Structures are given as structure tokens and as C-alpha cells.
């Protein structure tokens, strides 16, 4: 039996489907008051805490968790089995046909796609992004391990409370958005140069190709989140309710917000399904807005610079305005009480971290890099004589220190909201990281590659980079299944976090290879083959670029 303690302000924050309430009433009646007495006695005896806490039973476990053995497979489970069976039959059938035809089997073809390095000019300039995505993906996995430590029952919760590394995780997300902005801008401007009289269908094809790229894997693991606890061989562990059942309950109600890529917007903040889908929703929204900006570049090429800098000004103002209007913290707040509910009730996350419009500054920073790269290729760029660029390049490290080192002050102390100090730190915290990253991107295309870039563009890093999307989408469902088997209570140490990251990273990339071979590559190639494409004469290297964004 598991319970939670909270102040009176947090008592009503429970993620529990209404039709399961009947399973808890008998336990509440029998043990509710007894738990209150025991917990408060322990707080007073061990910690000399005179202010009594309120205890509430969150969920109870038994040999047959919530009558799971009596449930019959529903249409969602049948759909999952049908999809898996179809993928297996098609993969086996395609390889048999190829084998009989004395051609390379599909697995070998997919292996070649995974390990080969593109030779396009654009890849030579930005190929290091594949390797960069590997390191940023591992960093994201590490942050999520810290989040896991705040969700599962711990005997030393104060250890997690003292770890303040999560406040810098915003940089990773911003870099991902900037990368998408860079590559979308460079590819579109390059295509406009090659064929100024583009047809409007070109932009619709961009949207179609992007959906083909992200939807199959995303929707498959969205379905996994809904049926996870019913998969063959999965039995409810001691923390299975928190890791699997709660997620399933949310997804059965809010799956459509993920399908429509709106799960990151504030109206859908409570009871989010498949939490990692917020990034895909935000990135899709920003992709569409930026593509509309590219249409404006195409229609009004002489006003492209003015349009871009106007959008940059708007993008910088939006997050600052949100912080001021809602009186939010200047930096990402990380508290155990918020982690328990995956920040679904946290105003900072709902209004500032997840919406696409509040991350427009990061995407637009990438657009600026792409635009400057385009100017550089046409010998129209002279940054050596730019005072602004020189200042930004030299001030990167001091600005990063000002942006991220003081976060503990706002985390541990009650700084007045909407004050000049909070607003100043907000502007630094929301923009310095992505600006420093984008200055580095600019330096990369202005200078020949050094040892670091050569390593990031190596074959191994390129191959791992191609798995980054699948790993991001699948690592949360995989983590939930693994956590289901965690013991009822653990004591967390630094070595445990390192071991957790190694297991999570290794298992995610291993499953990522399988997903790449069985879902991502085959399904996308089939869809590209059978869906109509009205354009002709596409460059071979262009498909490779799409995987970044």
C-alpha cells in the first residue's frame, strides 16, 4: 500500500480515474486515520516537526491489481496486436521476396541507410549536428533519471531535493529547437535559390514529408502508453500503478491532444498523455509558423531581413511577457511536490516551458543562423566588422554564468515576482543559452572543422544520431516498463543515478535500432512511395536533412 503526505493546499491533486475510486474506499476507512497518526508520530519523534501533516492513501496493490486478470482485451489492444503482426509479416515477406530475387535483403538496405554518411554540401557543413544530438539526447536521459528519482518512493527524498541540475535542462530543449530552425531555413532558402519560381505545393510537400517522418513511431508508442500494462509478460510491480496505470488512464482520455499535436498547450495541461509528446507538438507548431515565414521570404525576398528581425523581436518579448503577466519564477522551478505529478499542475511548465509560442525565441535563433549561412554562401556576410556579433562571441561565457549560476537563489529564496531582478534574469535565462549555441553554429560554418567537429561527424556518431528521434519517443514508455519492477522503497545515491542512466540509455538505443529497422525506415519509405508527390527532380541528399528536424 502506498500513500502520500501533503499540505492542505495539495490534498486535491490526485491523478485517479473516477471509476477506480471504489477500490480505495475500504482501505481509506480502515487505515486512513491510523496512517495519519503513525506518520505524524514519526515526524515528531524523528524530526521534531510539531506541525502535523495530512496523509492520504494514493493507491493500494494486491495480487490482482484492480482486477486486471478479469479484463478482456479491448479494441485498442487488438489494434496494437494487429499493427505488430502486420509489421512482422511485411518485414519477413519483403526480405523473403528480396532473397528469392537475389537482391540485397531489406535489413541490409536499412543497415546501409543507418551507417552510410551523406555526401551533400549541406551535410558537410552541418553533419556534426548528428553527433551533437547524441550528446544532447544522453543529457535528456540523465535529466529524466533525476525526474524518476523524484517520482518513485524514496527513503531519502531530501537527496533529490538537493540536486539542482534540472534548472539547466532548458538549454538542451532550446538547442533542439534551434537545430530545427537552422535546417529548415537552410534547406528552403537553398531550394528557392535553385528554383525561384517554386510552386506552393512545395511547402505542402514539406509538411507531408515531416509528418511521414515523425508520425509512425510517435503514434505507435502513444498506443504503447495506452496498452502498456496489458502487454504480454507485464505484471504489475510495486510501483506499477504510478508508472503504468496512471499514464494509461490519462491517455485513454487525452490521446487526441497528442494526435493533433496540441498536448503542450495550457488548456490541456492537466492529465497530459505521453508527456514527451509535448516537444513534438511544440516543434510541429513552430515548424508550421517558420514555414509560413519561409513563404513570406519566397514571396517578398527584398523584405526577408526585416521580416526575420521583426519575428525575432516578437519571439523575445513573448516569454518575458508571460513571466510578467502570470508572475512566474524567472528559472525552471524543480520541487518534489511538482515531480510527483510530472509538472502537470506547475504554472511555469504549462505557460512557459511547453507551449510552442513561448519557445519561438529558440526556433527563431536557428532561423537567424540559417539566414546568415545563406548570406555567407553568397558572400554577403561580413561578421568580422559587426560589433554586435563580436560582443556576443566574447561575452558568451560571462553571460552563461549570469544566466545559470544564480538560479539557486530564485530556487531557494522568495524573490518578488515581476520585479526588475526577476525580469532581468528571465531574459538572460531564456535566451543566453540558445544564443551561445547559435554563435557556435555560426563559427562552425565560418571556419574549417577541428577535431571535435570531425569526431561529431564520424560514422559512429552519424549512425547514433539517426536513432535520436526514435530513442526520444520510446525512452519514456521503456522507462515506465522498467520502473514497474522497481522495489517498493529505495535509497538513492549518485552511483544509482549513473547506473540508472547507463541502463536506460543502453536499453533505449537497443530498442531504437529495432524500431529504426522495423518501423521508422520501412513505414516512412512505404508512405513516401505510395503517397502522391507532385514535385519532380528532387535532390537525393534532401531526404537526409529532414531527419534533423
Q: For the residues 47-71, what does the mean pLDDT come to?
A: 57
Contacts 24+ apart (CB under 8 A), 195-200: 198/298, 199/534, 199/535, 200/295
Residues linked to residue 2 through DSSP beta bridges, in sequence order:
59
Q: What is the pLDDT of residue 57?
A: 60
Burial of 339 (0-12, 13-18, 19+ CB in 10 A): buried
Continuous segment of H or E residues that includes residue 318: helix 304-326
d(CA 433, CA 177): 12
Lowest mean pLDDT among 108-112, 241-245, 454-458, 512-516: 108-112
CA angle 65, 68, 71 (to 5 degrees): 160
* pLDDT value at 372 more than 90: yes
The more confident residue out of 107 and 317 is 317
pLDDT digits (tens, 9 = 90+) for 327-362: 888 888 777 677 777 777 788 889 999 999 999 999
C-alpha cell at 475: 525512452
Q: For the residues 299-314, what does the mean pLDDT come to?
A: 90
Question: In the chain, what is the greatest distance between 2 CA atoms, to the nearest angstrom?
Answer: 79
What is the band of 105 on the pLDDT scale with cuts at 50, 70, 90? Answer: low
Q: What is the pLDDT of residue 61?
A: 52
* pLDDT value at 318 more than 90: yes
Q: For the residues 118-132, what does the mean pLDDT come to?
A: 85
What is the band of 381 on the pLDDT scale with cuts at 50, 70, 90? Answer: confident
DSSP code of residue 520 = I
Q: What is the dihedral of CA 505, 508, 514, 517, to 10 degrees?
A: -80
Q: For the residues 537-542, what does the mean pLDDT come to?
A: 41
Q: What is the pLDDT of residue 285?
A: 96
Q: What is the dihedral of CA 260, 262, 263, 266, to 10 degrees?
A: -160
Q: Which of 3-17, 33-47, 147-161 has the highest mean pLDDT?
A: 33-47
pLDDT digits (tens, 9 = 90+) for 184-232: 999 999 988 888 777 888 888 899 999 998 999 999 999 888 887 777 7
Q: What is the pLDDT of residue 195?
A: 82
The more confident residue out of 71 and 53 is 53
Q: For the residues 261-281, what does the mean pLDDT come to?
A: 87
* pLDDT value at 512 more than 80: yes
The more confident residue out of 160 and 123 is 123
Of the candidates 283, 355, 274, the one whose C-alpha atom is nearest the C-alpha of residue 322 is 355
Q: What is the pLDDT of residue 107?
A: 56
Q: For the residues 523-532, what does the mean pLDDT come to?
A: 78
The string of DSSP codes covering 162-213 is H--GGGGTHHHHHHHHHHHHHHHHHHHHHHHHH-SS--THHHHHHHHHHHHH
Q: What percent of the chain has pLDDT over 90?
A: 23
Phi, psi (rounded to 5 degrees) for 410: -75, -20
What is the band of 72 on the pLDDT scale with cuts at 50, 70, 90? Answer: low
Exposure class string for 437-469: b at 16+ Cβ within 10 A, else e: bbbebbebbeeeeeeebeebbbeebbbbbbbbb
Q: For the residues 428-452, what does the mean pLDDT come to?
A: 91
Average pLDDT, the chain: 79
Amino acid at each position: 500500500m502506498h500513500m502520500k503526505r501533503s499540505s492542505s493546499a495539495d490534498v486535491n491533486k490526485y491523478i485517479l480515474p473516477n471509476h477506480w475510486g471504489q477500490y480505495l474506499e475500504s482501505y481509506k476507512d480502515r487505515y486512513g486515520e491510523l496512517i495519519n497518526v503513525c506518520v505524524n508520530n514519526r515526524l515528531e519523534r524523528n524530526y521534531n516537526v510539531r506541525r502535523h501533516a495530512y496523509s492520504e492513501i494514493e493507491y493500494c496493490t494486491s495480487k490482482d491489481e484492480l482486477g486486471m486478470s478479469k479484463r478482456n482485451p479491448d479494441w485498442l489492444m487488438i489494434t496494437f496486436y494487429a499493427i505488430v503482426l502486420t509489421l512482422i509479416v511485411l518485414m519477413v515477406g519483403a526480405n523473403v521476396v528480396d532473397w528469392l530475387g537475389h537482391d540485397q535483403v531489406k535489413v541490409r538496405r536499412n543497415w546501409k541507410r543507418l551507417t552510410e554518411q551523406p555526401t551533400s554540401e549541406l551535410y558537410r557543413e552541418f553533419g556534426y549536428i548528428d553527433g551533437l544530438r547524441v550528446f544532447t539526447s544522453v543529457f535528456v536521459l540523465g535529466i529524466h533519471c533525476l525526474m524518476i528519482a523524484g517520482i518513485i518512493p524514496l527513503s531519502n527524498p531530501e537527496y533529490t531535493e538537493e540536486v539542482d541540475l534540472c534548472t539547466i535542462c532548458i538549454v538542451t530543449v532550446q538547442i533542439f529547437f534551434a537545430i530545427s530552425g537552422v535546417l529548415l531555413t537552410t534547406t528552403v532558402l537553398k531550394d528557392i535559390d535553385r528554383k525561384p519560381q517554386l510552386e506552393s505545393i512545395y511547402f505542402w510537400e514539406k509538411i507531408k514529408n515531416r509528418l511521414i517522418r515523425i508520425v509512425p513511431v510517435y503514434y505507435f508508442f502513444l498506443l504503447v502508453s495506452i496498452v502498456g500494462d496489458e502487454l504480454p509478460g507485464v505484471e504489475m510491480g510495486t510501483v506499477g500503478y504510478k508508472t503504468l496505470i496512471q499514464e494509461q488512464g490519462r491517455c485513454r482520455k487525452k490521446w487526441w491532444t497528442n494526435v493533433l499535436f496540441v498536448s503542450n498547450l495550457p488548456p490541456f495541461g492537466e492529465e497530459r498523455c505521453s508527456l514527451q509528446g509535448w516537444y513534438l507538438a511544440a516543434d510541429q507548431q513552430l515548424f508550421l509558423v517558420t514555414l509560413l515565414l519561409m513563404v513570406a521570404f519566397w514571396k517578398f525576398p527584398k523584405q526577408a531581413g526585416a521580416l526575420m528581425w521583426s519575428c525575432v523581436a516578437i519571439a523575445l518579448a513573448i516569454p518575458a511577457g508571460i513571466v510578467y503577466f502570470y508572475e512566474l519564477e524567472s528559472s525552471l522551478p524543480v520541487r518534489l511536490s511538482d515531480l510527483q505529478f510530472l509538472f502537470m499542475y506547475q504554472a511555469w511548465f504549462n505557460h512557459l516551458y511547453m507551449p510552442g509560442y513561448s519557445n519561438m525565441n529558440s526556433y527563431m535563433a536557428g532561423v537567424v543562423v540559417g539566414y546568415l549561412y545563406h548570406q555567407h554562401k553568397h558572400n554577403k556576410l561580413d561578421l568580422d566588422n559587426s560589433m554586435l556579433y563580436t560582443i556576443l562571441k566574447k561575452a558568451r561565457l560571462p553571460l552563461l554564468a549570469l544566466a545559470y549560476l544564480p538560479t539557486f537563489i530564485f530556487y531557494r529564496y522568495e524573490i518578488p515576482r515581476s520585479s526588475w531582478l526577476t525580469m532581468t534574469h528571465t531574459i538572460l535565462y531564456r535566451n543566453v543559452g540558445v544564443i551561445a549555441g547559435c554563435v557556435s553554429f555560426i563559427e562552425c560554418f565560418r571556419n574549417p572543422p577541428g577535431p571535435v567537429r570531425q569526431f561529431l561527424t564520424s560514422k559512429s556518431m552519424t549512425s547514433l544520431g539517426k536513432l535520436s528521434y526514435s530513442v526520444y519517443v520510446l525512452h519514456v514508455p521503456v522507462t515506465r516498463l522498467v520502473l514497474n519492477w522497481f522495489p517498493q522503497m529505495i535509497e538513492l545515491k549518485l552511483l544509482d543515478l549513473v547506473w540508472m542512466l547507463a541502463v536506460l540509455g543502453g536499453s533505449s538505443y537497443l530498442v531504437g535500432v529495432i524500431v529504426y529497422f522495423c518501423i521508422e525506415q520501412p513505414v516512412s519509405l512505404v508512405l513516401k512511395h505510395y503517397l502522391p508527390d507532385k514535385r519532380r527532380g528532387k535532390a537525393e541528399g534532401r531526404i537526409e536533412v529532414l531527419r534533423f528536424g
